[in-house]
Amino acid sequence: MHKYTVLIVEDEKNINEFISKTLVSNGYRTNWAASGKEAVSLATSLCPDVILLDLGLPDIDGMEVIRQVRDWSRCPILVISARTEEEDKVNALDAGADDYLTKPFGTSELLARIRTSLRHSAQNSSSPQQLYQAKGLEIDFLRRIVSLNGQPVHLTPIEYKIVAHLARNSGRVVTYTDVISSVWGPYAENDNKILRVNMANIRRKLEASPAQPAYIFTEVGIGYRMIDDESAVTAHIPEMYGAAHSIQEDGKF
């Protein structure tokens, strides 16, 4: 079976060893970079399937690593950082990171985020996504039809664009800037008010309880995350299993 390679960029050896042990026990191959420059070099030579990136590195900041890697690669980058400020998260995502986890976090969440990143990477490298399905919600991208529990949902063109963009990036946080650029164009004003108005309308149409959403979640100050696509093919992505699952499940990074 093909083993996905994960490049861990973390200057603290004990944290790297813990993450690496967890990933190896769950079917991944790992490499370690202790600095930003080493990370860029290894990303170039190894072409990993996923990069786990700490932002606080001893030489160059993790943000610069993201920018340098994004100059030539679409490899999924999952930031793992102790920085909790919303601005740090938004800047990392807007710079090209695919996801952001704040330390401390559980091993099960880390593994789930890695699987999501791999799934999106596989979808982007193959034929365009045609269908999204999750908890009775279905989006047919080819026919631009949205249905909920078999009943059609009538969205405006703008509402459909928002939902479709989030669905194509399901499981990942999508920044407000990203949504606005995708829906209204790259030169649109970065005004969250009109986006929030549209999102309120979307939730009234999709959610049984808009105050407790089941499909589209708000990452406060950052953006939105849509529930994972259940129709996505994940057969070749390592799952947590056997003894490794029971040993590592309660771990915290």
Q: What is the amino acid identity at position 169?
A: N
Structure tokens of 14? 């004990």
Please tell me the predicted confidence (pLDDT) of residue 238.
53
- The tally of CA atoms less than 13 A away on the side-chain side of residue 142 is 5
Q: pLDDT tens-digit profile of 188-242?
A: 887 789 999 999 999 999 999 999 999 999 998 899 999 998 876 444 455 433 3
Q: Where are the domains of the chain?
A: 5-126+234-248, 136-226
Please tell me the predicted confidence (pLDDT) of residue 135.
93
CA distance 31 to 9: 9
For 8-39, b where at least 16 C-beta lie within 10 A, e where not — what string? bbbbeeeebebbbebbebbbbbbbbbbebbbb
Low-confidence ranges of the chain (pLDDT < 70): 1-2, 123-128, 232-253
Which H or E run includes 87?
helix 86-95
Which H or E run includes 209?
none
Please tell me the predicted confidence (pLDDT) of residue 68.
94
CA distance 191 to 229: 28
Domain 136-226 is found in CATH 1.10.443.10 = no
Please tell me the predicted confidence (pLDDT) of residue 123.
66
Beta-bridge partner residues of 220: none
Check whether the bond before 104 is cis (ω within 30° of 0): yes
CATH architecture of 5-126+234-248: 3-Layer(aba) Sandwich (3.40)
